[in-house]
Amino acid sequence: MRTTTYLTLLAAPLALAACDNASETAEPSETMMSEGMADADSMPMGDDMAMMDPAEAGQAGSGEGSVTEIDEADGKVTIDHGPIAAVGWPAMTMAFSADEATIDKVAVGDRVTFEFRTTESGGELTAISKQ
């Protein structure tokens, strides 16, 4: 009888703990939002990570920030920018694709205003100017 009592006493808290972990079964983005973390769009991005759903591509936006890196070989300008409400982006540092003429307008460290359109891989600069 003692063994059954001990097993019941051990099993009851474990069963209650399992019932209380509803957030573990929620979608990852729901869990992150409920825990006060930023959504998936604000996570650091790599070249192999898609930023958005293809249905969201093609939106236009503008922002202000600082150029932190220029990669002429890959045609990228990395900008540390504030939130961009038009496309629902939080403040972040991200690489935008850019043509050669756009890349030639700026240097690392420049404060800039820029316009872009969203793409499946992030964003593409359509205009940029130094502040």
β partners of residue 131: none
Read off the pTM: 0.59
- Average pLDDT score over residue span 82-87: 94
Task: Work out the pLDDT band at 13, boundaries 50, 70, 90.
Answer: low
User: What share of the chain has pLDDT > 90, as a percent?
Assistant: 53
The pLDDT value recorded for residue 122 is 87
Contact indicator for 90, 42 with CB cutoff of 8 Å: yes
The pLDDT value recorded for residue 39 is 45
The pLDDT value recorded for residue 6 is 53
The pLDDT value recorded for residue 15 is 59
Q: Domain boundaries in the chain?
A: 2-34, 41-130
Q: Residues near 119 by Cβ (< 8 Å), separated by ≥ 6? A: 57, 58, 97
The pLDDT value recorded for residue 72 is 96
Check pLDDT > 80 for residue 69: yes
DSSP string, the chain: -HHHHHHHHHHHHHHHHHHH-GGGTS-HHHHHHHTT---GGGS---TTS--S-GGGTT-EEEEEEEEEEEETTTTEEEEEE--BGGGTB-SEEEEEE--HHHHTT--TT-EEEEEEEEETTEEEEEEEEE-
- Structural fold of domain 41-130: OB fold (Dihydrolipoamide Acetyltransferase, E2P) (2.40.50)
Contact indicator for 74, 109 with CB cutoff of 8 Å: no
The pLDDT value recorded for residue 58 is 84
Q: Over the stretch 25-65, which tens digit does the pLDDT of each residue have?
A: 444 444 444 444 444 444 444 444 444 555 567 899 999 99
